[in-house]
Amino acid sequence: MPPSPDAVAALKVGWAGVTDRASLDHPAVDVPAADLLGVLGSLKSLQGFDMLTDVAGVDWGVGARPRFTVVYHLFSTTTHAYLRVASSCPDDAAPQLPSAAALWPGADWHEREAFDMFGIRFAGHPDLRRIIMWDGYPYHPLRKDFPLAGIETPLPDAEITAEVKVGLIAAPMAGGPFVAAAGQMNMGDAEPRAKDESWNERRPKPGT
């Protein structure tokens, strides 16, 4: 079915917990975790939002209540309308929401990234495991309390450990903070650089 002319108004009729969310671009709503799958399913089947373009985790910081929110960006290929849906995790210590992978298979890797980087679990996910960091890595690098320079962590791969001749490496990358020059310049020079790149001096430069 094509989307309702006013998807947000239609949602509010069927879901009392849906509320407006401040947004500078597209319509956006806040949805309680308990209603999330029902609302997403309704948006897909009744409102025509047939494409999930993104799932993003948010950490509002230690002490924030709620601390973790997941934001879903939906698109209708029929009307070319966008809708943003945000749902906060009820438990700050063990953040969790239901998986949307059964509705949109493309949610699979997005949810794995949110799990890897923020520690947000998605109940019912078909294969919830890390997608960037290695299995067994004890931290979540995009949490607000994770230091920018990383945390020294034992490498799981003996070959990599032997190559850098160090048993510990800061992840995701040592040497921070990372800075980029401002003003008019070649874009290649604008790439952020670590203030301390001594970690890279042990490796031969390409072509040498």
pLDDT of residue 64: 95
Residues 6 or more apart whose Cβ sits within 8 Å of residue 35: 15, 17, 18
Q: Looking at 26-30, 74-78, 83-87, 195-199, which range is the least confident one?
A: 195-199
* Confidence check: pLDDT of 54 > 90: yes
pLDDT of residue 2: 45
The alpha-carbon radius of gyration of the chain (Å, integer) is 21
Q: Looking at 23-32, 41-50, 62-71, 187-196, which range is the least confident one?
A: 187-196
Q: Is 155 exposed, middle or buried (0-12, 13-18, 19+ CB in 10 A)?
A: middle
pLDDT tens column, 144-186: 999 888 888 877 666 555 545 554 555 555 545 555 555 555 5
Mean pLDDT of 59-74: 96
Residues 6 or more apart whose Cβ sits within 8 Å of residue 3: 47, 48, 49, 76, 78, 79, 81
pLDDT of residue 203: 52
The per-residue pLDDT of the chain, averaged, comes to 83
| CATH topology for the 7-123 domain | Beta Polymerase; domain 2 (3.30.460)
Q: How far apart are CA 91 and CA 70, in angstroms?
A: 13
Q: Looking at 53-67, 72-86, 97-111, 156-170, which range is the least confident one?
A: 156-170
pLDDT of residue 6: 81
* Confidence check: pLDDT of 47 > 70: yes
pLDDT tens column, 113-133: 999 999 999 999 999 999 999
DSSP state, residue 158: H
Listed by start position, the domains of the chain span: 7-123, 151-200
pLDDT of residue 142: 96
